[in-house]
Structure 1
Amino acid sequence: MIEFKGSHFEREVILWGIRWYVAYPISYRQLEEMLEERGVEVDHSTLNRWVVKYVPLLDQQFRARKRPVGASWRLDETYVKVKGSWKYLYRAVDKVGATVDFLLTAKRDRKAALRFLRKAINQHGVPKKITIEKSGANTAAIESYNAEHEAEIEIHQNKFLNNIVEQDHRAVKRVARPMLGFKSFRAAMATLAGVELMHMIRKGQLRTTGELCPAQQFYSLAV
């Protein structure tokens, strides 16, 4: 269970604010107005603190209950602006579109790609095949992992097959776009983790008991 002690707001209000922010393309000031209309006066900076503080805990709970993914992955990276500079969001999906994992990095190189690969494998195990575009950094990262762990991950370069992950990028960036850029790397990591979390819930990637709508699934992570 996630503890909400010390807050001036009820647990349900905090979770409501977080979920709406990471689920829909709105800004903190828009969310502040929406809450005010419902009788809840909370500053947009407080909403930001809720996301940064609680999303990592919700993400941890989600990972413990995440469904397995397939052994054929599509790996790619996209761009996210943090403090006025472009950073790199590494992402992978399996062949049916289920999210494997994601990682925000400051650089786009072999070390960053290898960090992402290790994170994804720690969660889901070693895949049989990874499809990438013609990226030297991603190729080098997979080859490094194979050499270090005596693994046999097959590297497949195919732009057409990688369309599935590029389309999935758009779903995440559509929600992140109105956020008007991130003020810190930490805030960017937490916010994107929340967006990815809600995106995975909508794709049916959370193990649940009974029929729960996406909102109920999100709230269940705090119990």
Structure 2
Amino acid sequence: MDKDLYHRHRFPAEIIGHAVWLYHRFNLSFRDIEELLASRGVLVSNETIRQWCLKFGQAYANNLCLSRPRRGGKWYLDEVYLSMNGQCHYLWRAVDRAGHVLDILVQSRRNRHAAKRFLRKLLKGLCYAPRVMITDKLKRYAAAKQDIMPGVEHRQHKGLNSRAEVSHQPTRLKEKPMRHFKSPTQAQRFLSAHGPINNLFRCRRHLLSRVDVRAAREKAFFTWQIITNALAAA
């Protein structure tokens, strides 16, 4: 990441990156992070932290997406409703076999057109088609898949799609300190950064030994330092 991104910022890249990491990794509010930083002697307002997350969060996520490995050949797709200002919207999400978020899209509809739009966004961002697409029994998926990816195997069964359904849990938890999303634009902006950042620190602890978990965590922190330009700015 170019150092010019931090131009005219009073705090160094390490502190900015740490604040953004805290917000996207844990269920903390801006005021919570303000207090945590104050305990370390870093006096910064919650509004400044909010501006950091808006400016740097997506930039960090974009760099992580550029360097992420190619995921497996199975895509798990699901949608969940989001209530914003009394109106119902839908968060479309795709994850791989390990539960890593591939992409998200907030839309006001849950029809064939919305499903096709999400599939196009997935193909454009990942630049490859899956071997298998797994969804629930929503008929719109089959219709959209036939138009966008006719050669891809499609499995529709509620029990097979638990990975995608579980992937919505961090969003639900994060909604509480945020007092819910205020608009589709805000939800799309936050979740587009939230997914890649959480992917980096997702190590599937239940499948690894304690030594391997520590090694994976150290690798994730090292990658985060590089992405936030902490090493170059030191």
Q: Which SS does the other structure have where 2:137 is aligned?
A: coil
- Which one of the candidate residues 136, 139, 154 is aligned to 2:139? 136
Deviation at 1:197, TM superposition (A): 1.8
- Evaluate the alpha carbon distance shift between residue 83 and residue 12 of structure 1 in structure 2; reply closer, same or farther with a 3 A threshold: farther
Structure with greater helix percent: 2
What stretches of structure 1 move > 6 A for 4+ residues in a row?
none
- Evaluate the alpha carbon distance shift between residue 44 and residue 182 of structure 1 in structure 2; reply closer, same or farther with a 3 A threshold: farther
Letter in 1 for 2:142: T
Instruction: Note if contact 1:77-1:90 (Cα within 8 Å) is conserved in structure 2.
Output: yes
- State the Cα RMSD in Å: 2.4
Q: Does 1:219 align with 2:225?
A: yes
Instruction: Note if contact 1:84-1:181 (Cα within 8 Å) is conserved in structure 2.
Output: no
Deviation at 1:83, TM superposition (A): 4.5
In structure 2, the partner of 1:152 is: 151
Q: Any stretches of 5+ residues in structure 2 without a counterpart?
A: 205-214, 230-234
Letter in 2 for 1:192: L
TM-score, normalising length from structure 2? Answer: 0.81
CA–CA distance in structure 2, aligned partners of residues 77 and 128 of structure 1: 21
Instruction: Note if contact 2:84-2:183 (Cα within 8 Å) is conserved in structure 1.
Output: yes
Q: Any stretches of 5+ residues in structure 1 without a counterpart?
A: none
Q: Which SS does the other structure have where 2:160 is aligned?
A: coil
Identity of aligned residues (%): 28
Q: Which SS does the other structure have where 2:167 is aligned?
A: helix
Q: Which SS does the other structure have where 1:75 is aligned?
A: strand
CA–CA distance in structure 2, aligned partners of residues 217 and 93 of structure 1: 21
In structure 2, the partner of 1:71 is: 73
Instruction: Note if contact 1:32-1:42 (Cα within 8 Å) is conserved in structure 2.
Output: yes
CA–CA distance in structure 2, aligned partners of residues 99 and 183 of structure 1: 22
Q: Which SS does the other structure have where 2:82 is aligned?
A: strand
